Copies of this chain bind each other. A is one copy, B any other.
Amino acid sequence: MNTQDTSPPTPLGEIEFWFEFGSNYSYLSVMRIEEAAALRGVRVAWKPFLLGPIFKSFGWDTSPFVLQKEKGIYMWKDMERQCRKYDLPWTRPSTFPRASVRPMKIAAAFSDQAWIGLFCKRVMLLNFALDRDIDSPEAVAEALEGVGPAPAEIVAEAQSEENRHLLRAQTEQARARGIFGAPTFFANGEMFWGNDRLDDALELAAQSLSA
């Protein structure tokens, strides 16, 4: 258990999935987590949060992939290979990292809906396969088309007073739990960082089911 984490442990058979639509390695996990979790009988708790304020708390004004040139060059090459490996479409975004508050607020407000996975996949594909500005009303409308009832109502509800501070509160919770990047997973009270650890986290969540 993370020593900074005072939250109750993740419920049995559940994986918490902390992600950001602007994060390239979150793209890999968003695309594959639902199927991988379902195959193991594990439930996914979707936890959108903003990386910007986390990076700011470290004194960084943008992504470490921008701040650290060598790591950034490598990351783009790695993404190409990882997408080939997982059989995912890939276009290097012309803007990185992309602003994502508008779709993130929707994900935060509707994280318990059956269509959350489909919506998140669509937003990620817009960013990392189609190189679109995911923070525009048009892109959000496109991602919502046909996923659930009444896209306009979803957009309005995400902007309501009730949901206004949800994303900020969830980002603060991420920081308090020691999250320093995305994607991050919690299974059985343990933290796992990076798409490379998704399978290990799912294994632990599935074990907790049969324990």
Which residues from chain B contact A196 at a C-beta distance below 8 Å?
196
Interface 1/0 per residue, A165-193 and B, CB below 8 Å: 00000000000001111000000001111
Copies of this chain, complex-wide, total 2
Which residues from chain B contact A86 at a C-beta distance below 8 Å?
none
The interface on chain A, measured as residues whose beta carbon lies within 8 A of the other chain's beta carbons, has a size of 24
Partner of A3, one of B73, B78, B180: B73
Which residues from chain B contact A192 at a C-beta distance below 8 Å?
78
Which residues from chain B contact A179 at a C-beta distance below 8 Å?
70
Interface residues of A (CB under 8 A from B): 2-4, 58, 68, 70-71, 73-74, 77-78, 81, 85, 178-181, 190-193, 196-197, 200
Q: Rank and list the top 6 A-B pairs by shortest CB-CB distance, nearest first.
A: A70-B180, A196-B196, A70-B178, A71-B180, A74-B193, A3-B73
